[in-house]
Chains A and B, each alone.
Chain A
Amino acid sequence: MQERIFVTGAGLLSALGTNKEEALTALRAQRSGIAPLVYLHTSHKGLPVGEVKRTNREMMRMLGLPETEITTRTSLMGMLAVREALEQAGLSETNGLRIALISGTTVGGMDMSEQYYLDFLENDTRNAYIATHDCGACTEMIADHSGLFSLVDTISTACSSAANAILLGALLLRSGRADIVVAGGSECITKFHLNGFRTLMILDGEPCKPFDADRAGLNLGEGAAYVVLESEDSARRRNVAPLCGLSGWGNACDAFHQTASSPEGEGAFLSMTKALDSAGLSPEAISYINAHGTGTENNDLSEGLAIQRVFGENIPPVSSTKSFTGHTTSAAGGVEAVISVLALQHNFIPVNLHFSSPMKELSFVPATVDRPVRPLQHILSNSFGFGGNDTSLIFSKTESV
């Protein structure tokens, strides 16, 4: 029997608020954070998105950073979410522990690069932001803000980045290479990927309707979310109470198309199956599925069919919380991990908003009632990315890990 992995801290910054208490309140009140776009400088003003409702300057103030500090929106959001996670886990110094930060991002410092790209090419006025462009720079800014980390690592598997960061965290703990791992992801909305998704015609001009017959695409979101992972032993030694356990993980590749999922959801089927296998659980043990559920025609059909393949007749409640947060892309696996942790702690099902018409291809409809029939024990959380990078995680009540 391998040692159990506990979640001892969580931080979440999203359209639902700047910490997880605010997110919990909004989820329970069934109040979406999606609103007309205001913070990003784009010609698509008014488009429904899940923005973090703070300017960069406001976040710098929250962090106590001087206004002259060179930062990016993704790193600022990451610093806030990591700070919340560390505080909850009671980590303010290293105490000789080897603490790792594994962060997922794809846009990195693109928010600044897209503003200053012509300067980058033509003059030296914005050089500081050349150095903050890449994904690793973002992770290091977050790591250096707390100064606790002796191992840093950045994963970039598009919309499953944060989920893969959490998976890697489990591997690092199991191999004994880290005592504590802070894992998740951060991603701000940029004009770059907002327009990229727009050219692919997968943005809904209205609030998104995951798993609805009339779904018309996704709403982009932004945010940062991290969990603190450690062994049962380490949590006991440090005298911190676990929030829940991380009991299973699975990564598979759809290997079908660069930007579309296979019709039968092969990758999704495999990642869910692998996660169940690694947790030693049968499908019936899952109390709730936090779906990837972007609200695009392609994803929800493919994921829905894969869920049916895995769970057969006994499909547990399924919902997509992207109807609350928007699709936070590289951060999504972290955002939804923390939402899963909250759901386990407070025993509620985050509902699927804006659902009205069942998809005729599926045997199930998304969950719209937040009270579970039986107490939640195990939650399966899906994150799927471009290129078919599919990852599933299972979070379990502490006593059920």
Chain B
Amino acid sequence: MNDIYILAARQISAQSPLCEAWMDTPVSYDEAYVRSIDPDYKPYFAPNAARRLGKILKRALLTSRQVMEACRIPHPDAIITATGLGCIENTGFFLDALTREGEELLKPTHFMQSTHNTISSLIAIDAHCHGYNSTYSHKGISFECALLDAFMQLKNGSIQTALVGAHDEMTPDYFKLLKRIGYLGHATNGFSGETALALMLGSVPNGQALCRLQGIEMQYGTDRAALQQTFGRFLQQLAVGPDDIDAVMIGVNGQASNDRCYAELCPVLFPGRKLIRYKHLFGESYTAPGSGLYAAAVCLNRQRIPAHLRMHPSHTEQCGLRHILLYNQFENKNHSFILLSSCGE
């Protein structure tokens, strides 16, 4: 079976865009609703394209182009996108017009770019990629669904490279909706963020790979015994012992109901392991777990975990990293495990 490498990654988020400044100079927020820090798009898009494309599409195109350039892979074998909500700005425009003005005055513009697969197909159109193309949209595990698809195809050798993206925008209206149902906006030390992350995965190392993607496993349901079993089998298959894991990256976000699941499960699943976090940097979104993987990959690459990622600030910075495990749960119902390892391992 092929090894799989994360060859490059680019993000636009609540942190400084298109760089890893968050490692040493993280931006922190007090408000509950945070939009991403957009780079200046002028150098990258013609004025008419910049006007036509919504934020989510500009971010997706730019992050994707940059990882393709960084790896010199202009035509990845697969383009696989995760988006929990899709192009909600365009969807919102069309829905608003439909509900306020009725069915006779609608225009196609916003509808045409409202489907979830707009992102993945636009990246393909932009890069002239005729290969495998798919889009996953499953709540807080959308990213893992996309990653799993790429992982299986890289492992079986049907593809050698895959551009995997995690893209979600958050409009003021949709934030209001998700606040009503308690998913966002009630955090004490977390915020709603937007995700734009592009990763290049490949089965051939390129000398600048961030880390290796060793395995991914998902589990649906509330049965904790089954979850423990799944995790045990996951490590066993990868021939990694619990003590080999240097840190576990988890999705705590300041919401009581979310964080309680981690508080209950982490001591059972990963006793004694150091816990690290990422949502204080990138915020909560359906595809936020993509940012968790990105942050862990950068830590493995630079061989250090900055103190501000640590759940227990008393712990000092850590060096000599080999394995970081990512554990994500969504509504205590969807669970995922991803193991990243340093390239040397």
Contact = CB atoms under 8 A, between A and B. Distances in A.
A249 B32 CA distance: 45
Contacts of A65: none
**Interface residue tally on B, bucketed by range:** 35 or more
> Which of B128, B134, B219: most chain A CB closer than 10 A?
B134
A139 B138 contact: yes
Given A137-B139, A175-B152, A199-B111, A256 B117 contact: no
Contact of B156 (A156, A174, A196, A257): A174
Contacts of B173: 121
B124 A130 contact: no
Contacts of B100: 118
A130 B178 contact: yes
Interface stretch (A28-36, A144-152, A218-226): A144-152
Interface stretch (B78-86, B196-204, B243-251): B78-86
Interface in B55-96: 79, 83-86, 94-96
B220 A143 contact: yes
B130 A252 contact: yes
* B111, B117, B142 interface centre (most CB from chain A within 10 Å): B117
B181 A253 contact: no
A158 interface: yes
Contacts of B132: 251-253
Interface string A242-277: 000000000111111111000000110010000000
B98 A150 contact: no
Given A136-B138, A156-B86, A171-B152, A258 B122 contact: yes
Interface string B172-189: 010011101100000000
B94 A196 contact: yes
B95 A121 contact: no
A121 B218 contact: no
Interface string B129-165: 1111111111101100100110011011000000000
B226 interface: yes
A252 B133 contact: yes
A149 B138 CA distance: 15
B99 A389 contact: no
Given A106-B116, A200-B112, A386-B115, A255 B125 contact: yes
Interface in A118-171: 118, 120-121, 124, 127, 130-131, 134-137, 139-140, 143, 149-158, 164, 168, 171
B122 A387 contact: yes
A39 interface: no
B118 A153 contact: no
A349 B220 CA distance: 39
Contacts of B149: 168, 171
B268 interface: no
A388 interface: yes
Contact of A177 (B108, B121, B152): B152
Contact of B135 (A42, A155, A198, A199): A155
Given A44-B103, A157-B135, A386-B115, A258 B121 contact: yes
A177 B284 CA distance: 29
B118 A258 contact: yes
B98 A195 contact: yes
Given A136-B137, A255-B130, A386-B121, 18 more contacts: A42-B103, A113-B95, A124-B180, A139-B138, A151-B220, A152-B220, A156-B83, A157-B117, A168-B149, A192-B94, A195-B106, A196-B106, A253-B121, A253-B130, A254-B130, A270-B130, A385-B117, A389-B117
